[in-house]
Amino acid sequence: MHKSLKIVGALIGVLVLIIAAVFGYAVLNLNSIIAAQRGRILASASDALGREVDVGSITASLGWGVAIDLKAVKIADDPAFSPEPFVQADNVDLKVDLLPLLAKHLHVSELILEQPAVRIIRDRAGALNVGTIGKKGSMPAQTGTAGVPQNRPAAPPVNAGPESPVQAAPRPKAGGEERLNALAVNAFTIDQGTVVYQDLAAGGAPLKVRNVDLKVRDFRFDQPFAVTLALAALGDRQNLTVSGTAGPLARDARLDPKAAALALKARLGPLTLAQLRTIPQLAKALPPALDVSGPVAATAMIGGTAGAPRINALADLTANEIAFPPKFDKPAGVALKAALDGGLQDGHLQIATANLALADLQAKLSNISVKPGAIGARVDSNRFDLAPLAKLAPAAAKYNPSGAAEIHSAVVYANGQPSLDGSILLSGVNVSPTGGKTPPVGNLGGTIKFAGQGATVGPLDFTVGSAGRGRLLAAAKTLQPLDTTYQLNIDRLNIAEIDPSRAKFGAGQIAGLAAAGTVRIAGGAPQGTVRATAASGMVANVNFTNFAIDAAYADQRANINSLKLNAFSGALQASGVATIGAVPAFDMQVATRNVDLRQMLTAAKSKAADKVRGLLTASVKVRGRGKNFDAIKPTMMGAGAARVEQGELVGVNVVAQALDKVDNVPGIGALLPMSVVANHPELFKSPNTDLRQASLSFTINGPRLTTSDLRVDSADYTVFGSGWFDLDQQIDMKAKILMSPAFSRETIAAKRNVSYLATSSGQIEIPLQISGRLPKPAVVPDVGILAQRAAAHAVQGGLGKLLNKKGLGGLFGGGSGGGSSNPFKSLFH
């Protein structure tokens, strides 16, 4: 037994010596073996990758494993993509486990690439050059000087595209599959690498990623492996870190990097907006006007596959100032957070859902689409406070809105135009334009429904000013440009609360307002129509009832088809055109019926308001221009007719003044006996002029009204006149007073000589000249006409006496007296 043990021990010792001799030989001759097998080694590597592999030098050492040092390593690209190397490294350290190697299995314990450069290309058809790794090329191999297969086909242009697509290589042979699956790497490291990415479809300069540090553990093509990555994206400072697992890269012994499963955690940033714009796909999606101050950062969980990664990302831009003029301006410090769940599909970013926090808004976005020039999503929000959010939109901020809103809508922003399909709920919304003291519109609530470019508004209920309540319904065909119809009802409206500038025109309110019409924006200018009624109100110191208007507005021109209202105890209606511009103008036709003159002149703040009384019925066509009444007066032109009933001129008795001045008339002396004056106190004692009924037609030229048919009727007289008067109370008229038959008979009976002032119908007629300034113009009799009548009366009186003395025969030389004297001599001498 003891002898047997000695024999076994001797055999083991001999075996150990043989193994030691083999290892000693391998140590002493390893580099010689590698040199002899260099061509086969590189050919095997090239065959496994489907790419030509070239190495400047290979040295090895033997310890617990085989340590291999490779210098000037180059891996060629697929010639369909580029003639430049796919991978290039100055130094590669490779440690291989010895025992698996003896069993023809390549177990790499550690692989280190120092400062490698990797070129990744995406052609116009969307194919990546990494997608053909492991696939056999169709080009024949040529043997190089070192016995290494050298693939030297004529390389096509770098921008090879759809006209020369990459053809799928035939399935590799089983031997290649076995070698691929046999490869295992315990540790894989890239130190300070550079990756260049060129997208031929997007164009632009290649993207260069620097300072790439990559560590891979437990690598096998057919199993997941651990990976840690840090790199400098779009700059020199590392701003992207990734850690987790990836793989397998091969399925069914075929290399397919796009199918590699990902379970990674990433952090991106800090990155600036300028850096992001260097990525062609993002440059097209980001609006040119967008500006973000400072860098941004985000974290993400990455799943899915390398060809179609799924990304769950978080970003907080609260510290950034973000401007998208003129629509959006977020100061630094206002909350803006986003959580995205999406990925890349066919090279396009697709976000499935996103959660957005902006100021008080919490919104969930789904069905998100980001394409060049277009952004779209389904938005569902919380009920959020409008005030802090409105401050971020300059167009809304000037109205100082408050209240709450809730959004449930699909939103698309494309070609500078928004499009919505859904609804916005409003609650307790208040609006107060900058400069206003009282919110004119408040407590607005209701629903706005959107459909594409259009919308349906309401019913929206709201308060107006301090006491009014209103309701709005509208239907917009398009929102940009605006083209909508509307119906508006307001029970009470204080005009000064809507437009504070109108306060200087006095109190103004409208009750029972109902309006319907259209509003359009054409060429940047507003257009519209309106049909409105109001039960009552006061505007510009004018109390009115039964207001109705039918009008249209376009190109700063208002066409008033019809305007009717009851005011000044009567009725008014108007039609015409008014233009709004640097110098407003109007061309109007106005009619009144039984309008109280005093009320109307008081509302117009006319000085004649205290001087004129009566009920006016008139029709006037007038045009003019100017910003106020003083500017308008000299420009007015037109014509019209008017009738005043129950009228009176206060402070001046034109007729009494005229009769009083008809004194010392030739052949009469004093015109009116005291008995007649005493019998008519309403005429001679009243300080006013009675205008029981007055009428005239007139033309308007500037502030002057000219008439040729003025007629004033009273109990004791009728006045006829022609001439002019103006809006500054100046008057210059010729008139005649025709006393009533009864007054005339009474006067002639008391003083027979007055009869020569009577007409053929027996009415006393007195010509007058009225000039000067109301209310006390100069009223004087026309002495010239009176003198002519006196002379005629004297002639008639002398002739009568002559006829009484001589008779007709004597007058003409016949009769008893005979004689031939001049019959007119005694009359004139």
Q: How confident is the model at residue 690 (pLDDT cuts 50, 70, 90)?
A: confident
Which of 102-106, 191-195, 732-736 is predicted least confidently? 102-106
Mean pLDDT of 391-400: 84
First and final C-alpha spacing in the chain? 206
* pLDDT tens per residue, range 162-178: 333 333 334 444 444 55
Eight-state DSSP code of residue 221: T
Q: Is residue 613 pLDDT above 70, yes or no?
A: yes
For residue 668, CA distances in Å to 429, 474, 656, 659, 750 come to 86, 81, 18, 13, 12
Q: Is 325 exposed, middle or buried (0-12, 13-18, 19+ CB in 10 A)?
A: exposed
Residue type, 153: P
What is the distance between the alpha carbons of residues 774 and 606, in angstroms, rounded to a whole number?
Answer: 13
Mean pLDDT of the chain: 78
Long-range contacts: 664-669, Cβ < 8 Å, 24+?
Answer: 665/757, 665/786, 665/790, 666/786, 666/787, 666/790, 666/791, 666/794, 667/753, 667/756, 667/790, 667/793, 667/794, 668/751, 668/753, 668/754, 668/756, 668/757, 668/790, 669/753
3-state secondary structure of 571: strand
Determine contact, residues 380/355, Cβ cutoff 8 Å. Answer: no
Lowest mean per-residue pLDDT among 146-150, 215-219, 259-263: 146-150
- Rounded-to-integer distance, Cα 136 and Cα 52, Å: 11
What is the structure's pLDDT at 669? 60
Tell me if the bond preceding 459 is cis, omega within 30° of 0. Answer: yes
pLDDT in tens, 576-610: 999 988 889 999 999 999 999 888 888 777 777 77
**Of 24-28, 323-327, 374-378, 780-784, which range is least confident?**
24-28
Numbers of helices and strands, H then E, in the chain: 17, 44
DSSP-derived secondary structure for 157-214: PTT--TTSPPPPPPPPPHHHHHHHHH-EEEEEEEEEEEEEEEETTT-SSPEEEEEEEE
- Residue 400 binned pLDDT confidence (cut-offs 50, 70, 90): confident
Q: Is the pLDDT of residue 319 over 70?
A: yes
813 pLDDT above the threshold of 50 = no
Residue in this structure with the two tokens 């697992």, named with its chain if needed: 245
Continuous H helices in 703-824: 741-750, 783-811
pLDDT of residue 11: 55
Q: Which of 141, 178, 179, 164 is nearest to 51 (CA)?
A: 141
Decide: 250 and 258 in contact? Cβ < 8 Å.
Answer: no
Please say if the pLDDT value at position 138 is more than 50.
no
Contact 727, 607 (CB under 8 A): no
| Sign for the pseudo-dihedral over CA of 160, 163, 164, 170 | positive
How far apart are alpha carbons 743 and 679 in whole angstroms?
Answer: 10
Q: Residue 713 in 3-state DSSP? A: strand
Task: Give CA–CA dist 649/177, Å, rounded.
Answer: 120
Beta bridge partners of 753: none
CB count in 10 Å sphere of residue 584: 16
d(CA 394, CA 16): 88
3-state secondary structure (DSSP) of residue 541: coil
- DSSP label at residue 341: E
**Which residues are registered as beta bridge partners of 711?**
695, 720
- pLDDT tens per residue, range 521-571: 888 888 999 999 999 988 877 889 999 999 999 988 999 999 999 999 999
| Residue 729 confidence (pLDDT) | 80
Most confident of 52-61, 630-639, 739-748: 630-639
Checking if the pLDDT of 787 tops 80, the result is no
The one-letter amino acid code at 1 reads M
What mean pLDDT comes out for the span 342-364? Answer: 84
Measured N-to-C along each axis, helices 174-182 and 38-49 cross at an angle, to the nearest 10 degrees, of: 100
Q: Looking at per-residue confidence, does 566 or 683 come out higher?
A: 566
pLDDT at residue 13, rounded to an integer? 53
Question: Given pLDDT bands bounded at 50, 70 and 90, which one contains residue 60?
Answer: confident
In tens, the pLDDT along 74-111 reads: 888 888 888 889 888 888 887 877 666 666 566 777 88
Cα radius of gyration (the chain): 54
- Summarised one tens digit per residue, pLDDT across range 440-478 is 678 889 999 988 788 999 899 988 877 789 999 999 988
| C-alpha to C-alpha distances, 154 to 43, 133, 235, 351, nearest whole angstrom | 20, 19, 35, 42
Taking residues 27-47, what's their average pLDDT? 68
What integer pLDDT is reported at residue 142 of this predicted model? 38
Return the structure tokens found at 720: 């006829």
Which is nearest to 134 in space by CA: 268, 254, 282, 25? 254
What are the structure tokens assigned to 682, written together? Answer: 């309403």
pLDDT tens per residue, range 469-492: 999 999 998 887 889 999 999 998
Higher pLDDT, 518 or 51: 518
Highest mean pLDDT of the ranges 149-158, 244-253, 360-369:
360-369
> How many CB atoms are closer than 10 A to CB 766?
23
The answer, yes or no, to whether the previous bond of 270 is cis (omega within 30 of 0) is: yes
Confidence band (pLDDT; 50, 70, 90) for 652? Answer: confident
Residue 469: how many CB atoms within 10 A of its CB? 13
| Of 13-22, 40-49, 136-145, 212-221, the least confident | 136-145
38-49 and 2-36 helices, crossing angle to 10°:
80
C-alpha span between 674 and 677 (Å, rounded) = 5
Q: What is the pLDDT of residue 595?
A: 92
- Taking the C-alpha atoms of residue 366 and residue 344, their distance in angstroms, rounded to an integer, is 16
DSSP state of 273: H
Residue scoring higher pLDDT (636 or 436): 636
C-alpha torsion 175→177→181→185, nearest 10: 90
Q: Strand pairing partners for 195?
A: 118, 209
Q: For residue 350, what are the contacts with CB-CB under 8 A and spacing of at least 6?
A: 342, 343, 344, 368, 369, 370
Burial status of residue 285 (CB atoms within 10 A of its CB: 0-12, 13-18, 19 or more): middle
DSSP secondary structure string, 99-126? Answer: HHHHTT--EEEEEEEES-EEEEEE-TTS
* pLDDT reading at 402 higher than 70: yes
User: Nearest to residue 275, comparing CAs of 241, 323, 234?
Assistant: 234
pLDDT for the residue 212: 87
φ and ψ of 129, to 5 deg: -70, -25
Q: What burial class does residue 10 get, using C-beta atoms within 10 Å of its C-beta: 0-12 exposed, 13-18 middle, 19+ buried? A: exposed
Q: What is the reported pLDDT for 821? A: 39
Instruction: Judge contact between 692 and 684, C-beta under 8 A.
Output: no
Q: Which residues contact 333 (CB under 8 A, 6 or more apart)?
A: 318, 319
